[in-house]
Structure 1
Amino acid sequence: MATRLFEGKDHALFYRKYRFSPQEPLKKVIFSYLDEKVSSFQLAVDVGCGSGQCTHLLAPRFDKVIGTDISEAQIEEANRAPHPPNVSFLAAPAEKMPVEDHSVDLVTAFTAAHWFDLPSFMTEVERALKPAGCVILTSNTLDMTLHYGDCSEKLTQIFTEVRLLVSVTQRLGIIKVQRVTDDYEEIFNALPFQDKKRITDIIDKVPMTVAELMGYIQSFSSYQTFLKARPEAAKSRLQNVEKRILETIGVSSHETRLEFWNRQVCVLGCRSS
């Protein structure tokens, strides 16, 4: 069964507001692969879609896009947000897509596949995809750095400290997080297609304000677990991190812009025709 960590309404709200869609380097990989491999652009399914930021990415290329997530709260946020008319969102597990057999041209999962029941999900991918249909599974890695002038090393140290601290409160699904730390090697090996590849050196650079960075931290499942277990400690830790970041940069405004760098991994595969 898939791990369920993103289902609270408050968590879903932070997820929609502060999670970002792929930047140009990752989009280039995705669109180049689509241009090379996909011959039909009728239907794409984005599983584990959360609040839908990445689902929108597929809308200009496909006649119809369905975003699914096991969390009804995430789907409510996705439906509440503006989205193209050819995009719809449904609550459903990744291991049971609401589509007919062999009807899908592309299956995607953005920073989600490591939470799935892999054997069941891969069986479902084979059921859903058309002959020559494709699958693209991407994820943020834990290689995250902050950049601002000559403060980058110190800022990254502060960010890493808070990420590691809140992570120790979350033991549920820790084995599945190892799928991220091994750069999706297990997921690549589980993909039942001969035509497949894995790319591990994509660097996305995301501009964000200090306030947006604090929101991004609050969207972590590990922070939300920490918040539920020790609410005052979690809030105090977040305030302390924000204070240290502003002091390190030497500013007082939460709207000060910095840059968040994250290495992405991407598994791409195509079913035989």
Structure 2
Amino acid sequence: MEQASFRVFETNLVSDLYAKGRPTYDDKIVKHIIGSILTKIKGEKHELMVEVACGSGQATNVLAPYFHNVFATDVSESQIALAKAGNQFDHIKYQVGSAEEIDVKDASADLLVAAESVQFFDLDKFFSEVRRVLKPGGCFAVIGYVHPNVTPITSNGVQRQLTASLTNAVKNTIIDNIGKKLVPIYYEVQNGYPKIFEAMPAKQKLKEYFHCIYDTWKLKNVCDFVNSAILLKCPDETFPIDSENKRVEVLNAFVSNVSQMLESSEISPDSVTSYEADYKMTVITASEFE
């Protein structure tokens, strides 16, 4: 599968919004990934985890306790700066670098992770690096999601009748406000990486789905996620990636749309105590790369 690499999270503004608006990964996902290694490599702690496109460290910090050493890279200097600022462990080393050229020795990694990122890589070059970096029996793990299903919660309970309309509002706001080249990538992730999974040159590969649910979000948290996903583009597109006025315009329209949906269901926006955000996350584990 031919795919060029895309760099969309490199600016300081986008990195800050990403760190603020994106979810962490819960124990179900961590245990599933670590369990995939434990079936192949024995030991209380594994030696080395490598993470590519680590962003601000959302996956790095939850997986790090299972390894003696962690090496995490991202092409964005601003993302690495944020990851270092939020580093929770002494044995994590962050470094600017690309997924297509990983600065570790051959056959050295017990686990190689790409969280919310493999869709942006040059896959031929990246899979060649996966093959080179993993030690015999090592595991490659992919985590991916697009947007949460959003449901308002009032004193009368969870308002499931509004889940579909509010979730579509989130999705459409994102789709309508990203570069055109990113739209097919968005749907590839939403559909569970079908093309990338098929193209993955591994003898053993498994795809699972997990739900990470946050039930204490405020509307501000929903807006923070939307803000982290809009106005992204590929470098050769002329989309206004850093237009603050455009961000305010898009977010105000989104909030207004949410209010109208609530009121049409005879729910006052002020009566909403919180929002449930249900992320459906795709997790792929693979080994024995050819």
TM-score bin, normalised by smaller chain:
0.7 to 0.9
1:33 is aligned with what amino acid?
S
Distance in 2 separating the partners of 1:95 and 1:263:
27
Q: Which residue of 2 aligns with 1:204?
A: 212
**What is the Cα deviation at residue 129 of structure 1?**
0.9
Q: Which residue of 2 aligns with 1:130?
A: 135
Distance in 2 separating the partners of 1:6 and 1:118:
18
User: Aligned-pair RMSD on alpha carbons?
Assistant: 2.4
- Aligned residue runs from structure 1 range 41-190, under 5 A: 41-141=46-146, 144-148=148-152, 149-150=158-159, 151-167=162-178, 170-190=179-199
Q: For residues 135-193 of structure 1, what are the alpha-carbon distances to aligned partners after superposition, in whole Å with 9 as ceiling and x for unaligned?
A: 11111045x411122243332233233123213xx123445445324421222233222
**What is the Cα deviation at residue 65 of structure 1?**
0.9
Does the CA contact (< 8 Å) of 2:37 and 2:138 recur in 1? no
Q: Which residue of 2 aligns with 1:23?
A: 26
1:145 is aligned with what amino acid?
N
Q: For residues 167-221 of structure 1, what are the alpha-carbon distances to aligned partners after superposition, in whole Å with 9 as ceiling and x for unaligned?
A: 3xx123445445324421222233222122122x32221232211111111111x
Distance in 1 separating the partners of 2:80 and 2:242:
25
Q: Which runs of 5+ in 1 are unaligned?
A: none
Q: For residues 117-148 of structure 1, what are the alpha-carbon distances to aligned partners after superposition, in whole Å with 9 as ceiling and x for unaligned?
A: 11100000111111111111111045x41112
Moved over 6 A (4+): none
Distance in 2 separating the partners of 1:153 and 1:198:
25
Q: Which residue of 2 aligns with 1:261?
A: 278
**What is the Cα deviation at residue 13 of structure 1?**
0.9
Question: Which of 237, 244, 247 lines up with 1:234 in the alignment?
Answer: 247
Q: Which residue of 1 aligns with 2:268?
A: 250
Q: For residues 26-77 of structure 1, what are the alpha-carbon distances to aligned partners after superposition, in whole Å with 9 as ceiling and x for unaligned?
A: 3342233233233361000111111111111111100011111111111111
> CA 1:230 to 1:13, structure 2 compared with 1: closer, same or farther past 3 Å?
closer
SS state at 1:21 partner: coil
SS state at 2:181 partner: coil
**What is the Cα deviation at residue 252 of structure 1?**
4.0
> CA 1:186 to 1:38, structure 2 compared with 1: closer, same or farther past 3 Å?
farther
2:214 is aligned with what amino acid?
V
Same amino acid, percent of matched pairs: 25
1:129 is aligned with what amino acid?
L
